[in-house]
Amino acid sequence: MDGNCLLWIQECLRQDFWTPFWKAVTSLGDAGWFWIALALILAVFPRTRKAGLLALVSLALCALITNACLKNIIARPRPYTQIPDLTALLPPQKDWSFPSGHATASFASAGVYLRTLPQKYGLACLALAVLIAFSRLYVGVHYPTDVLGGIAVGLFGSWIVCKLKA
């Protein structure tokens, strides 16, 4: 089912005019740079310092869970190496597929911002997190369950960090 979903996206949703947009969106999640930068900026200002610092802790916790543990324990190959008809739109990735680090970082941050910033900003971050997560499917480098796993880890990590700080 995972593979069929990716093939459906490739056959039905991919369009040449959309590809630059989705590649740009996915690049926002590369190494978590956008979320780290946003957290650092927020940490500078007293009114948003708590949100920024909590997001940094959430990002660090979730990176440990995802990159140091789960990816290496599960060692799931990338979908483009397993599905002959799938064409990845990015160069080969260096790490394992499960869970998606982009989705993890995005939801680790968005989860914190939903709990600590005014609703309109938290929802904007959530919308961006959803776009980044979907972009990983569009470009063909993750299975849907990789993205769902990343979302779960990110939301769990953000919940833990916010709960411990409260």
Contact 58, 155 (CB under 8 A): no
Share of the chain above pLDDT 90, in %: 98
Per-residue pLDDT, 166: 61
Q: Each residue of 123-140: pLDDT tens digit?
A: 999 999 999 999 999 999
Q: How many domains does the chain have?
A: 1
Distances (CA, A) of 103 to 17, 45, 97, 152: 24, 26, 11, 9
**What letter does residue 18 receive in the DSSP assignment?**
T
Q: Which domain holds residue 23?
A: 2-165
- Please state, rounded to an integer, the average pLDDT across all residues of the chain: 97
DSSP letters, 55-72, are: HHHHHHHHHIIIIIIIHH
* CATH number reported for the structural domain that contains residue 91 in this entry: 1.10.606.20
